[in-house]
Each structure stands twice: as C-alpha cells, then as structure tokens.
Amino acid sequence: MGQRDIEFRSHGITCRGWLVTPDGAGPWPAVVMAHGFSAVKEMRLDRFAAAFAAAGLASVVFDYRGVGASDGAPRQDLDPAAQISDYRNAISFARGLAEVAPERVGIWGTSYSGAHVLSVAALDRRVKAVVAQVPLIDGWESMGRIAGEDGRAQMVRDLIAERERVYRGGPGAMIPVVDDKGGAAALAAADAFDWFTLAAKTAPNWKNEVTLLSLERLLEYAPGRNIDRIAPTPLLLIAAAQDFLPLDIAKGAFERAGEPKRLLVLPAGHFAPYEPPHFEPAAAAAADWFRHYL
C-alpha cells in the first residue's frame, strides 16, 4: 500500500488529504471519501482506505473546508451544501490523477458524510458506485425522535435566537460536539463521547466544537428525499440496528431507492463500524461492492 499527501482546490479553498493506493501499477478504480459530523480523516478513515487498497482500490481521503488539515474559515462551521461541493471537487481532482481510472470512481461516506454521498450520487453521474454507512436520512425527523418534539421545538427557538444575534453582529456561538458531564452537545448519544474520545487519540487536529448554526443546517438537511434519484448507480446502505439514528427511517429510504441496491444491517450501534469486530464486515461489504461495480 502506498500513501501520499494530496491537496485540491474547492471554490478557492485548499482541501487536504491522502491518496492511498494498492501495491503494483495503476491506474486503479478509486473511492472518494470523507468523514462524518466534525470528524477528520485520521479518525479511522485510514482503516477503510487500507481495506480498499487490499481489494485493489485507490482512495482519495480528504478533510472538508474549515476542519482538520484543510483551509477555510470560519473553522468548525459545518455546512452540508459546502461539504457536498467539496466531495464533487474531490471527484474532479481524483479523475485527473495518473493513478486513477477516471471512469471507475465511487464514493463512500459515513454518518453525516453518508448523507452527503446520497446527495452527490443523486446529482453526479460520474459516480459509478456509492456506499452510505450509518447515514443521516432526515435531520428534522431524526432530531424529533432523539430529542422528542418538545426538545426539537426548543432547539428551533434557540437557533432562531442565535441567528438573530449573529445577524446583529455578534460572534457565532460554539457548542461541544460531545460532552460527558450532562451539558449541551451536538451529539448527545451515549456512545458518542466514548468513541470521539478514543478516536481523537490518533487525530490531534480534531476539535470538540462546532458552530451552533451547524445544528440549524443539520435540522434542514434531508438527503433521503433524493434517494430514488440515485439509480441506476449501485447503492450499498450499511445501517446499524442499535443506531441513535432511527433504523426505520433508513429502511424506509432504502425501500424508495432503485436497483441495484443492497441493505446490510449490523447488530451494533452508530460508531461500531469504525472498530473491531464490526469494522471488518462493514469494510469488507464496501470493498466487495466497489470491486464488483468499479
């Protein structure tokens, strides 16, 4: 396996990452991949890139603008539209690499980026296969299930107050991604703090904060509405039975998708696919999907 640092421009901003390649001579089919909500490439994406390399696939792994190794301001401001644009520019970059077969490019995403790849695949026919792992399908519906309707309503009120405060010239407020002391956090699931704390040990540039308005965009985001537009691009959806993102929402979206498609449900929680023993079946299923269709 080979690995080198890469960078590309996305609307004038430099995004940085890695090109990971199999042993031997290319060009190879390639997978473009980025991480989920606030996470950076060092938080286990190297594991997936290595599994793909072992299957004969190159990977372009990158951080979005404003996080990790990439440039861009404001920092830690998560905008799905901007991140989708970064994905599409990463595809353009990958197709121009000598190591990559330009007509054999797929995309992989997880959690928030699992949502993004659904959106990209619905829009971009350069994508020849897509894997969405534990994806957010509908922010509004998911937050209503997680926080309850009253909790979601309070969140909306807080976000309106933040929007008006920023409009009047105030600095954008930040909120922790995870917290173990009962305070407000963007990801309040019981297993979120444990996993982010573990994964951060290999990702010193990960920041445990996002702008509060990042949550407004999450509430507005419903990539599952476009899932029926992905076909005929092949779709593998990897879900988790104990996910804090409701499994029935993921299954409902999958039912609306066209063929070819496959649903794999792991008997685990949202963060389990990044770690043994559930990493192995998640990575193997994705690698097999890409190897077959790319």
Q: Name the 3-class secondary structure at 10.
A: strand
How many C-beta atoms lie closer than 10 Å to residue 221's C-beta?
22
CA distances in angstroms from 26 to 14, 51, 220, listed in the order given: 26, 17, 41
pLDDT value at 94 more than 90? yes
pLDDT of residue 153: 96
- Name the pLDDT band for 182 (thresholds 50, 70, 90): confident
Q: Which has the closest alpha carbon to 28: 82, 84, 100, 106?
A: 100
Phi/psi at 100 (5° precision):
-115, 135
Please give the single-letter amino acid code of residue 270: H
Which pair of tokens denotes residue 147?
């926080």
- Name the pLDDT band for 136 (thresholds 50, 70, 90): very high
Mean pLDDT, range 141-167, rounded to an integer:
95
Q: Which has the closest alpha carbon to 113: 76, 74, 141, 86?
A: 86
Whether residue 132 is contained in a domain is answered as yes
Q: How many domains does the chain have?
A: 1
Whether residue 100 is contained in a domain is answered as yes
Between the two ends of the chain, the Cα-to-Cα distance in Å is 19
Burial class of residue 110, CB neighbours in 10 A (0-12, 13-18, 19+): buried
pLDDT value at 248 more than 90? yes
Residue 192's region, left for phi above 0, alpha for psi from -120 to 50, else beta, is alpha
Whether residue 282 is contained in a domain is answered as yes
Mean pLDDT, range 201-215, rounded to an integer:
97
The rounded distance, in Å, linking the Cα atoms of 115 and 221 is 9
Average pLDDT of the chain to the nearest whole number: 97
pLDDT of residue 156: 97
CA distances in angstroms from 250 to 53, 65, 145, listed in the order given: 28, 28, 13
Phi/psi at 129 (5° precision):
-165, 150
Mean pLDDT, range 249-258, rounded to an integer:
98
CATH number at residue 11: 3.40.50.1820
3-state DSSP helix/strand/coil percent for the chain, to nearest 5? Answer: 40, 20, 35
pLDDT of residue 26: 85
User: Tokens 């573990």 identify what position?
Assistant: 198
Whether residue 174 is contained in a domain is answered as no
Q: Name the 3-class secondary structure at 141.
A: helix
pLDDT value at 234 more than 90? yes
- Name the pLDDT band for 181 (thresholds 50, 70, 90): confident
pLDDT of residue 96: 98
The rounded distance, in Å, linking the Cα atoms of 99 and 155 is 46
Residue range 110-133, pLDDT digits in tens = 999 999 999 999 999 999 999 999
pLDDT of residue 1: 86
Which has more pLDDT, 189 or 275? 275
- Taking a C-beta distance cutoff of 8 angstroms, is the pair 76, 67 a contact? yes
Per DSSP, what are the bridge partners of residue 65? none
The rounded distance, in Å, linking the Cα atoms of 159 and 111 is 22
The rounded distance, in Å, linking the Cα atoms of 244 and 187 is 10
Whether residue 256 is contained in a domain is answered as yes
CB proximity list for 169: less than 8 A, separation 6 or greater: none
Please give the single-letter amino acid code of residue 209: E
pLDDT of residue 263: 98
pLDDT of residue 183: 84
Domain that holds residue 13: 2-140+223-293
Whether residue 112 is contained in a domain is answered as yes
Whether residue 216 is contained in a domain is answered as no
- Name the pLDDT band for 13 (thresholds 50, 70, 90): very high
Whether residue 81 is contained in a domain is answered as yes
- The enclosing H or E element of 240 equals strand 235-240
User: Tokens 């996080």 identify what position?
Assistant: 67
Mean pLDDT, range 90-104, rounded to an integer:
98
Residue range 33-66, pLDDT digits in tens = 999 999 999 999 999 999 999 999 999 999 999 9
pTM: 0.96
pLDDT value at 190 more than 90? no
Which pair of tokens denotes residue 253?
């979206």
